[in-house]
Amino acid sequence: MKKAKVTSGDVARLADVSQSAVSRSFSTDASVSADTRAKVLKAARKLGYRPNVIARAMISGRSRLIAVLVAYLDNQFYPIVIEQLSRALQDRGFHVLLFMTDTGNQDEVVQQMMGYQVEGIVMASAALSSTLARECAQTGIPVVLFNRYVPSSPASSVTSDNIEGGRLLAQFLVKGGHKRIAFIAGSEDSSTNRDREAGFYRGLAESGQTVWARAVGNYSFEGAAAAARQLFADKIKPDAIFVANDHMAFAVMDVLRNELKLRVPQDISVVGYDDVPEAGWGGYNLTTVRQPSALMIDATIKILMEQIQRETVSRRAAVLPAELIIRQSARLPK
Amino acid sequence: MKKAKVTSGDVARLADVSQSAVSRSFSTDASVSADTRAKVLKAARKLGYRPNVIARAMISGRSRLIAVLVAYLDNQFYPIVIEQLSRALQDRGFHVLLFMTDTGNQDEVVQQMMGYQVEGIVMASAALSSTLARECAQTGIPVVLFNRYVPSSPASSVTSDNIEGGRLLAQFLVKGGHKRIAFIAGSEDSSTNRDREAGFYRGLAESGQTVWARAVGNYSFEGAAAAARQLFADKIKPDAIFVANDHMAFAVMDVLRNELKLRVPQDISVVGYDDVPEAGWGGYNLTTVRQPSALMIDATIKILMEQIQRETVSRRAAVLPAELIIRQSARLPK
DNA sequence: CAATTTCTTGCATACGTATTCAAAACGTGC
DNA sequence: GCACGTTTTGAATACGTATGCAAGAAATTG
């Protein structure tokens, strides 16, 4: 029943060459004559031979595995990143080993990654602890913090310009004539939230305004809904809200429209951040800031490939431009 | 700079035991005395040792890798499945190796999977070719077709009861008093579309109706929008549409509301299939059929684990119950 | 054609672990 | 204290490939 696994030895025997010749025929930069390679490939095809990546990793230390750590996939930003990242890596002969983590067992998970001898790590979940970052650096495994950063860490990072993005939104809302502008934060300890909030406040300050009210949604759907209710419990209501990401903004819009019976944008403006696909859907038409996911992926790949090839890790930080995407969820400047 | 990798030999030396003892200390069912294991674990902790999964896979043939093949992640159904699947596998010491494919290079991709010595394959993209399925079966690698099936294939499958789901929707629309019920198909060669359509037609037939009109959306957002426009080009318009999945239904609702200025459900009813998170959002409030993703994952895991453990593959087909989720996008029965 | 240089090739070894086998240590009952 | 069964241990080997090395083949040069 079970077909015995076919090895390079089998191919060698059929092609009447040595096992080394087979091995060399399957690596690009090896010294083999054209016709032995042809013989080998022919025999390999006949037997259905494929090099065993595991065995190859064993000897060469190259597993061609990139670990990707993610906390959740319900915010569409991450699935899209994973899809693009995976495609880009596949094109380069690498593959994505996926790890899900709820903050807490992160150390354990990173240990598991090391166990798989991954050649690189992309962290798209809460930033890893500093001890782990150091450990990875020591082992020589490049680490890229995706959409987040830790200034003191030896890990590289790729982000969009969240500060500028926040500023753009503040300017846009001010120009729209809003006077009571509120903010709903994501996770307060995340760099994205810090930067978006800081940029937003700076933008407000440049126009002589300050934030009218503030609540925390922790980047969760329910958290954002609760935050929206809280903001509207006060006597004087805000006339605009910047929600720290699109995923939360949808929840906020639902509460405003369905529970509080407010019209968006006539009664209140809402803006988000990320420009996930749903933001463009008719049900929301969300004005937001686009994170250039394709550029961010490119930067990530570049950092990983470079450090893997040069076998030396060094901290790199890529910050890519953010772009304001104007739709219908916020009043337009007159 | 680069910390040398610590091996079982290093631990053995420190703990003053043999390498075998170290190996045994890290496997559950091995014969080691309690105190040698303690000694070993202590030394391992001190050195920061972790068994090398690659080397382990080399000798034991167990890579603890499950390949997951997906075509795209913009339909939220799949990210959620991947998240749940990955979590469930992690709990069992397995990990997800992700492969993205646009139909076409599938053969190549499956070859890559074999190269990684994966212990199981979950296909959540277009069904694999019959030759590949046979090849996998021969190699003894269990294959689960997720949310799809191929009757003639030796591969196992996990689906929800798409026929019954389609029937439930037909009954619901008929009871709602609709007389001109249309259908927008997904990919016509997919088993999900075939079953949903067949069940839907059967449900209509049971009430003496037939489908009023039909168009094809190919499970894509733009395809669905085009299909909706096509259905409404005719003089007499449908009064209800069953769209073969939620992802397309959102596009259809956008076209109906924003381009055709129709109210949902007052002017026309729309129902979908899957019950992805967005279906419950206020912007759509989509009446749909829920696919029990948790149960489907459970079944997948069960099939995989059983066949991996028994080292024998056999075709299993799990069909899980579908549930009608009534929201506001379709007129209710009087 | 001889003397070099450049390419190819096969042999042997290494990668880090799991596992078989035989020997050693340990318990147990008399 | 002895014979026996049981558990624990270490030495040796195997997994499938890549690669350093030396030898052989081919190509180039004078």
Residue-wise over A248-270: b if at least 16 C-beta within 10 A, else e? bbbbbbbbbbeeeebebbeebbb
Q: A138 touching B, CB under 8 A?
A: yes
Q: B95 touching A, CB under 8 A?
A: yes
CA of A59 to C1' of D20 (A): 14
> Alpha helix locations (H) across chain B?
8-15, 19-25, 34-47, 53-60, 77-91, 106-115, 130-139, 162-175, 191-206, 221-231, 246-254, 293-310
Contact A320/A299 with Cβ under 8 angstroms? yes
Average pLDDT over residues B192-216: 97
Which carries the bigger pLDDT value, residue A323 or residue A136? A323
Residues 236-265 of A with CB under 8 A from B: 250-251, 253-254, 257-258
Contact B281/A249 with Cβ under 8 angstroms? no
Average pLDDT over residues A287-306: 97
Question: What is the per-residue pLDDT for B2?
Answer: 54
pLDDT tier for residue A1 given thresholds of 50, 70 and 90: very low
Our CA-based measurement puts residue A330 at a distance from the nearest CA of chain B, in whole angstroms, of 16
CA of B51 to C1' of C11 (A): 31
CB spacing of B116 vs A99 below 8 angstroms: no
**In Å, how far are B141, B151, B156 from B314, measured between CA atoms?**
10, 14, 7
Question: What is the per-residue pLDDT for B66?
Answer: 97
End-to-end CA distance of chain B: 75
Average pLDDT over residues A176-199: 96
CA of B33 to C1' of C27 (A): 14
CA of B301 to C1' of D8 (A): 36
CB spacing of A99 vs B95 below 8 angstroms: yes
- pLDDT tens, residue by residue, A47-82: 999 999 999 999 988 899 999 999 989 999 999 999
Distance CA A134, CA A125 (A): 17
Contact A246/A278 with Cβ under 8 angstroms? yes
The residue of chain B with its CA nearest to that of A97 is B97
- pLDDT tens, residue by residue, B33-69: 888 999 999 999 999 999 999 999 999 888 999 999 9
The count of other CB atoms within 10 Å of the CB of residue B50 is 17
Considering only the beta carbons, identify the residue of B3, B54, B135 that sits closest to A117. B54
pLDDT tier for residue B20 given thresholds of 50, 70 and 90: very high
Residues in Cβ contact with A325 at an 8 Å cutoff, skipping those fewer than 6 apart: A275, A279, A287, A288, A289, A290
On the question of pLDDT at B126 being above 90, the answer is no
Beta carbon of A36 within 7 Å of strand C?
yes
pTM value > 0.75 = yes
Considering only the beta carbons, identify the residue of A2, A50, A72 that sits closest to B111. A50
pLDDT tier for residue A153 given thresholds of 50, 70 and 90: confident
Residues in Cβ contact with A209 at an 8 Å cutoff, skipping those fewer than 6 apart: A170, A174, A179, A181
Name the 3-class secondary structure at A151.
Answer: coil
pLDDT tier for residue B4 given thresholds of 50, 70 and 90: low
The residue of chain B with its CA nearest to that of A111 is B50
Q: B115 touching A, CB under 8 A?
A: yes
pLDDT tier for residue B1 given thresholds of 50, 70 and 90: very low
- CA B219, B224, B227, B232: dihedral to nearest 10 degrees? 150
Q: Which residues of B touch A95 (CB under 8 A)?
A: 97-99, 112, 116
Question: What is the per-residue pLDDT for B153?
Answer: 86
